[in-house]
Amino acid sequence: MHHLDAEESQISGFPVTAPRYSAAVRILHTSDWHLGRSFHGASLMREQEEVIGRVVELANSERIDLVVIAGDLYDRAIPPTDAVQLFDEALVRLHGTGAQVVAIVGNHDSPSRVAVADRVLEQAGVVVRGDISRCVEPLKLDPDDGGPSVSVFPVPYLEPLLARQHLDQLGGDAEAADAAQAEAAETEAKAAERAGTAGSRRADRHHPAIALLAGRQSPEAETTRRASPRRASHHDVTELATTLIRRAAAAGGPTRTVVVAHTFVDGATPSDSERDLSIGNIDRVGLDVFGGFDYVALGHLHRSQAFDDGRVAYSGSPLPYSFSEENDTKSVRIIEMDAEGQCSTEVVPLDVGRPLRTLRGRLESLLNSAEFAGAEGARVRVRLTDSELPLQAMAQIQRRFPHAAVLEHVPDGRRAPGGGDVAEAVENSKHPLELALRFWEDQHGDKASVAQRDVLASALQAATGENDA
């Protein structure tokens, strides 16, 4: 779906670009901007400005019809002023390309602050959705490509307890609507059969009766869910939201569906820079809850990854926010959706921001070897292998690598921090001295000598009153 021309109009004082479409719908999917974030104390604002510029450039050059930003627009609920100004500039510039824009709040964002002007902005083709109760209200695109309309359902981050209250209220009349819709579909089918045209209509997967069946829950399942006293999970509320979305899509007639959500799909790969949604794995959402939609644009995880042949995907963050993302290619996804709702995807590297490098070696080598020349402009994590930590090591390192962010002392023969089985050692230690000796070895890279062992044993005895077994 390419822009052919644009008609300018005024809605509530806003200049509105109304694109006209053909060929296929083109969607740019990005997420997790985290505007206002720092990297180990260093501001990322300039690099985030570069990200915005690159996304705007792609929206123009790739003739994008819809830009989707799948949550975590800011890094914290009350963002700094310059981050708010940058997001405002991003919306203005993206709208100026002629694309429609849909953004949702993530778990880092404040729904009431971020989406304060959503109803007004929506009239100009810019949706910033934070109100859970509006997740069944789509932004509609009407392309001239021979296919049905495209309904974009923005689902803001669903905190389970709060979301369940809103979604249960939304679903209060859903069963009655289901019954009426099913009855209408049955009446239509009988009329077609009497007219002898039952087999003439093609099996359109966007037909409302079929979409309705895909979204229905059995009365028994619905009753059990409402009566269940257990705490709602992320899977529960996401399943409920997508059920309601299917019903809303079905009620509007044939349509192609795009869902924008901010969650952790089971089986996806996280990095070290996401905020946990809950303890353990109870934050995971089954992939099956997104069945039947044409494209699902996800946010929350910072690595680009896709499922179900690309139909469900994370764009990943546009910049690396931890050293665990050092080898990730930061990108956006450009989706082309045809008249049948089939999608093809191109992953487009952004190539912005300062790279990350992990360097390992002795201080003298790090300061003088040509081997590390390519890292002088990067954000650097240094793992020093000197047997003793040199004085003012970080200050010396930063003279060559001014963006060095992390210094870890890892003498030769010792595992890097986080690479050992410390938790397992604590669990399996049968005596405090055994654990103390394990800690000594982890810190010094060598086992304690007999004399050192005796000192540790004496200290433990004095502290605990126990004799070494």
Instruction: Please tell me the distance from the alpha carbon of residue 389 to that of residue 405, in angstroms, as a whole number.
Output: 17
Question: In this predicted model, which residue has the larger pLDDT, 385 or 216?
Answer: 385
In DSSP terms, 404 is beta-bridged to: 380
Q: What pLDDT, in 10s, does the model give residues 412-436?
A: 756 555 544 444 555 555 577 888 8
Q: What is the pLDDT of residue 452?
A: 86
Average pLDDT over residues 253-270: 95
Query: Per-residue pLDDT for 91 more than 60?
Result: yes
Q: What pLDDT, in 10s, does the model give residues 287-329?
A: 999 999 999 999 999 999 999 999 999 999 999 999 999 999 9
Q: What pLDDT, in 10s, does the model give residues 316-327?
A: 999 999 999 999
Instruction: Please tell me the distance from the alpha carbon of residue 91 to that of residue 140, in angstroms, as a whole number.
Output: 18
Q: What is the pLDDT of residue 245?
A: 95
Instruction: Please tell me the distance from the alpha carbon of residue 157 to that of residue 137, in angstroms, as a whole number.
Output: 15
Nearest to 314 by CA among 332, 289, 293: 332
Q: What is the pLDDT of residue 450?
A: 87
Average pLDDT over residues 403-413: 90
Of 13-27, 338-352, 388-402, the least confident: 13-27
Query: Per-residue pLDDT for 461 more than 50?
Result: yes
Asked whether the beta carbons of 32 and 271 are under 8 A apart, the reply is no
Q: What pLDDT, in 10s, does the model give residues 46-68?
A: 999 999 999 999 999 999 999 99
Apex 31 CA angle, 27 and 35, nearest 5: 130
Q: Band of the pLDDT at 160, cuts 50, 70, 90?
A: confident
Question: In this predicted model, which residue has the larger pLDDT, 204 or 352?
Answer: 352
Question: In this predicted model, which residue has the larger pLDDT, 174 or 113?
Answer: 113
Average pLDDT over residues 445-467: 79
Question: In this predicted model, which residue has the larger pLDDT, 90 or 219?
Answer: 90
The domain ranges of the chain are 6-349, 356-464
Question: In this predicted model, which residue has the larger pLDDT, 442 or 330?
Answer: 330
Q: What would the two tokens of residue 309 be? A: 């042949």
Average pLDDT over residues 250-258: 93
Q: What is the pLDDT of residue 415?
A: 58
Q: What are the CA-CA distances from residue 62 to residues 25, 119, 250, 258, 432 (Å)?
A: 11, 28, 31, 19, 63
Of 82-96, 126-140, 206-220, 345-359, the least confident: 206-220
Of 210-219, 241-250, 263-272, the least confident: 210-219
Of 76-90, 99-113, 179-193, the least confident: 179-193
Of 69-78, 81-90, 200-209, the least confident: 200-209
Q: What is the pLDDT of residue 16?
A: 46
Which residues have C-beta within 8 Å of that of residue 236, sequence separation ≥ 6? 160, 164, 225
- What 367-373 contacts at long range (C-beta under 8 Å, 24+ apart), as own/partner pairs, is 367/396, 367/397, 367/399, 367/400, 372/400, 372/401
Q: What is the pLDDT of residue 203?
A: 39
Q: What is the pLDDT of residue 2?
A: 37
Positive or negative, the CA dihedral 272, 274, 275, 277 is negative
Q: Band of the pLDDT at 175, cuts 50, 70, 90?
A: low
Quick one: 82 exposed, middle or buried, by C-beta within 10 A (0-12, 13-18, 19+)?
middle
Q: What is the pLDDT of residue 228?
A: 53
Which residues have C-beta within 8 Å of that of residue 125, sequence separation ≥ 6? 16, 17, 18, 95, 100, 101, 139
Q: What is the pLDDT of residue 198?
A: 45
Q: What pLDDT, in 10s, does the model give residues 188-224?
A: 767 767 666 544 333 354 544 334 445 445 444 455 4
Average pLDDT over residues 440-454: 78
- Domain 6-349 coded CATH 3.60.21.10: yes
**Strand bridging mode 126-129 / 100-104:** parallel
Query: Per-residue pLDDT for 130 more than 90?
Result: yes
To the nearest 10°, report the CA torsion of 318, 320, 325, 328.
40
Average pLDDT over residues 384-400: 95
Q: What would the two tokens of residue 41 be? A: 């104390």
Query: Per-residue pLDDT for 177 more than 60?
Result: no
Query: Per-residue pLDDT for 41 more than 50?
Result: yes
Q: Band of the pLDDT at 129, cuts 50, 70, 90?
A: very high
Q: What is the pLDDT of residue 279?
A: 52
Print the SS3 string covering the chain: CCCCCEEEEEECCEEEEEECCCCCEEEEEECCCCECCEECCEECHHHHHHHHHHHHHHHHHCCCCEEEECCCCECCCCCCHHHHHHHHHHHHHHHHCCCEEEEECCCCCCHHHHCCCHHHHHCCCEEEECCHHHCCCCEEECCCCCCCEEEEEECCCCCHHHHHHHHHHHHHHHHHHHHHHHHHHHHHHHHHHHCCCCCCCCCCCCCHHHHHHHHCCCHHHHHHHHHCCCCCCHHHHHHHHHHHHHHHHHHCCCEEEEEEEECEECCCCCCCCCCCCCCCCCCEECHHHHCCCCEEEEECCCCCEEECCCCEEECCCCCCCCHHHCCCCCEEEEEEECCCCCEEEEEEECCCCCCEEEEEECHHHHHHCHHHHHHCCCEEEEEECCCCCCCCHHHHHHHHCCCEEEEEECCCCCCCCCCCCHHHHHHHCCCHHHHHHHHHHHHHCCCCCHHHHHHHHHHHHHHHCCCCC
Instruction: Please tell me the distance from the alpha carbon of residue 196 to that of residue 129, in angstroms, as a whole number.
Output: 46
